[in-house]
Chains A and B, each alone.
Chain A
Amino acid sequence: MSQKETVVKSITALDNGPKVLKLYMEMCAKCGTCATQCPVYYGDESRKYNPPDRSDLIRRIFKKYCTISGKFLGPLVGAGDVDEAELQGWVDRFYSCTGCRRCATYCPFGIDNSVITRKGRAILDQLGLTPATMKKVIEVSLKTGNTDGASVEAFKAAISFLEEEMKDEHGIDIKIPVDVEGAEYLYVPPSGDVLVNPEATTGIAKIFHVLGMGDKWTMSSLYFDGANYGLFTGNDADMKKENQNCVEITKKLKAKYLLMGECGHAYRVMKMMMEPGKWWGDLPFSIINCMEWTADLIHRNKLQFDKSKNTRAVTYHDPCNFARSCGIVEEPRAILKATCMDYRDMYPCGAENWCCGGGAGLSAMDSLHDFRMKVSGTKKVEQIRETGAKYVAAACANCKRQIIQLNEYHKTGWDVGGVHDMLSRSIWIDGKAANRKEYEA
């Protein structure tokens, strides 16, 4: 099949669904509202970053082949054919949308340009044009079960390091069980929360310890990374394959709860796509998120904290996938307010938050560093600066990476970490919080 045929086939297929895409192809009123709400267009008002202009790359061809007006009137109604010479340029176009869905929140018709972006990336994937970094992450992740490509030994070494840390902090043994069959909870964070910013994971371990459930949970050495880059490349087969690994392992370990860590898109794929879509039929376990779980425990007074361990001003960055796509907004705030002295919201926040600028996998692409620093991340820097916060909590490994880089690039002087990190530093175990190096600047 020629490139053109591949593109046309993939786009004309939309006439039969999914429904969202068919509607979005036919409906945009070209009113220009989404541009004012898009983090990318905010950072650079170039035409190539105007959301409907990007979406029109696909819409144009759909109109040409699937609508009566497009067939007869062509460019007059914004219809046009595939231009093979242009396809290479699509890579930059479709990898400059962060998939944040903010446009959909403000569009009078709820048109979600990120869905069209994902379609564009799916076409690029079929053409073999997916950026090398993304392809690599998927390969590694399918092979090793984590996006960092860490071996089972490396994972186990990291876990014993965390256990030692906790011993230093509290003077007692707090375990992180690995590969325990029959444990009630299987905890699946993003790999970064084991290998890079591991305090969120120690936070979870400490909660189980405090609840007296230290032996009722486990992690898996074969699946300790919920990240799923198939969502980002638009390749459904990859996305499902990765997801299936996790489901199989949860079943094998006979866990009753799949406790997802601080990773927005991982939870979204599980909770909003796999479960309602019944990819693997009915599940013998329930999918919960660590922030809902912890916030509920706090609400029921099961945990106590020494807030004086976290005195600096703290703000929370809502990962788009958690806030807009899963409705998890109050829970992280409940945790931060319980564990920190000075919590401040950004404006706007929650489901109206601005993307960090690294969504939809962009955060992992070093080739986009300049774009992320100077364009897509602009608004986030302004927003965080306005709060005056010194610690930025983000419940997502990709957001964290992006905000850490923004901090370095713009010399803003923030610390960046997770939500359970603050819990780990302040949770009471046997009447006192962790005793370790001074965090306060």
Chain B
Amino acid sequence: MSGMAFVVGGLMPYAAAALFLAGMVSRFRAWYKTPQPAKMTLFPAAEGGMWKDVLAETFFFPSLFKGDRVLWGFAWFFHATLAFVFVGHVRVFTGLADRAMLALGMSPETIDSLSAGAGGVAGIVLLATGVLLLVRRLGMTRVREISAFSDYFALLLLLAIIVTGDFMRFGGHFELADTRAWAFSLLTFSPEVPPKPMFLLHILFAQLLFMYIPFSKILHFGGIFFTHALIKRR
């Protein structure tokens, strides 16, 4: 195993996980602790409906839907597919999902082709919506003029992960067994890293993303609970 591969696939995962967890916990704690003296309720706010509204906002973006339907289309499919792909990766890393599906009576071949099909579609949807979001940011004055480098960087990093992921999925660089072995080796603290460049690039970018999240605007995926809870509280 080359030294570089070991760093990316054998050491960095621990650092990334630690930094991500510590970063997020400290952000959540800070938000939770910070006092809010005045009521900020924004109507319509249903009596007792706060958490229902917060969850609706988290999963379906209704405010954005009312505000900018085109952006809603890009953003919702982008985020929903990201979530879907995240779940898909749980299957890639562990046998848990497989065991559940086997128990439902599917054959291993069906599961593989289902996963390849769904994963492939997701990879394309992500690429398309991600590029659309980037084009939108560059092309619309009102968005471009408020964007800093970090706003492009977040999107470019995601796109790098998506592109390398798509290469693996469509370019035949993907070995389920190897990946699972790698994930398991990490859990047992005896990392065995598959020496595949595309795979290594993919996990490199993904880990950079996780380390970056707590310190960037991408933490909106946790902050959304807090901001909406404040204005939806009656």
Contact = CB atoms under 8 A, between A and B. Distances in A.
Q: Do A and B bind?
A: yes
Interface of A: 16-20, 22-24, 26-37, 41, 45, 47, 50, 52-53, 56, 67-69, 73, 75-78, 101, 104-112, 115, 272-273, 276-277, 323-327, 329, 350-352
Contacts of B34: 16-19, 22
B105 to A, nearest CB: 41
B90 interface: no
The interface centre, meaning the residue of A22, A104, A110 with most chain B CB atoms within 10 A of its CB, is A110
Main secondary structure of the interface of B (DSSP, over half): helix
A276 B43 contact: no
B38 A67 contact: no
Nearest to B133: A31
Given A50-B146, A110-B63, A24 B36 contact: no
Contacts of B146: 30, 32, 50, 52-53, 56
B40 interface: yes
B148 A20 contact: no
Given A75-B148, A272-B38, 15 more contacts: A17-B34, A19-B31, A23-B226, A26-B219, A27-B217, A27-B220, A33-B64, A33-B67, A56-B146, A76-B148, A106-B67, A107-B63, A109-B224, A110-B230, A111-B227
Given A27-B227, A28-B217, A325 B147 contact: no
Contacts of A327: 41, 43-45
Nearest to B35: A17
8 contacts: A24-B227, A32-B68, A69-B215, A78-B148, A101-B42, A108-B67, A327-B41, A327-B45
A101 B64 CA distance: 15
A104 B45 CA distance: 13
B152 to A, nearest CB: 10
Interface of B: 27, 30-31, 34-45, 57, 61, 63-64, 66-68, 71, 75, 140-143, 145-151, 153, 215-217, 219-220, 223-224, 226-228, 230-232
Contacts of A27: 217, 219-220, 223, 227
A110 B145 contact: no
Contacts of B148: 30, 75-78
A112 B232 CA distance: 12
Given A18-B36, A23-B223, A110 B42 contact: yes
A59 to B, nearest CB: 10
B230 A36 contact: no
A131 B230 CA distance: 31
A245 to B, nearest CB: 19
Contacts of B145: 47, 50, 53
A68 B26 CA distance: 13
Contacts of A73: 150
A160 to B, nearest CB: 39
A171 B231 CA distance: 50
A110 B40 CA distance: 11
Given A32-B140, A45-B141, A106-B66, A76 B226 contact: no
Most chain A CB within 10 A, of B36, B45, B147, is at B36
A325 B71 CA distance: 26
Contact of A26 (B67, B68, B151, B223): B223
Nearest to A323: B43
Give 9 nearest A-B pairs by CB, closest first. Answer: A106-B67, A78-B148, A327-B43, A32-B143, A19-B36, A108-B64, A77-B150, A17-B34, A19-B34
Given A19-B35, A77-B149, A67 B215 contact: yes
A327 B66 CA distance: 19
Contacts of B42: 101, 104-105, 110, 112, 324-325, 351
A268 to B, nearest CB: 10
A416 to B, nearest CB: 24
Contacts of B75: 31, 108
Contact of A36 (B30, B41, B57, B68): B68
Nearest to B144: A32
Please indicate which of the listed interface residues A22, A32, A273 has the most CB atoms of chain B within 10 Å of its own CB.
A32
A69 B230 contact: no
A289 to B, nearest CB: 13
A8 to B, nearest CB: 19
Nearest to A72: B215
B149 A109 contact: no
Contacts of A32: 68, 71, 140, 142-143, 146
A45 B35 CA distance: 36
B143 A30 contact: yes
B37 A18 contact: yes
B121 to A, nearest CB: 25
B37 A108 contact: no
Given A107-B63, A272-B38, A31 B141 contact: no
A18 to B, nearest CB: 5
Contacts of B66: 105-106, 352
Nearest to B38: A273
Contact of B68 (A18, A52, A68, A106): A106
Nearest to A52: B146
A118 to B, nearest CB: 11
Nearest to B74: A31
A18 B39 CA distance: 11
A112 B231 contact: yes
Nearest to A48: B145
Contact of A115 (B40, B140, B216): B40
A110 B227 CA distance: 6
A108 B58 CA distance: 9
B108 to A, nearest CB: 40
A325 B220 contact: no
Contacts of A75: 148-149
Contacts of A78: 148, 150-151
A107 B232 CA distance: 13
Contact of B40 (A20, A22, A67): A20
B36 A272 contact: no
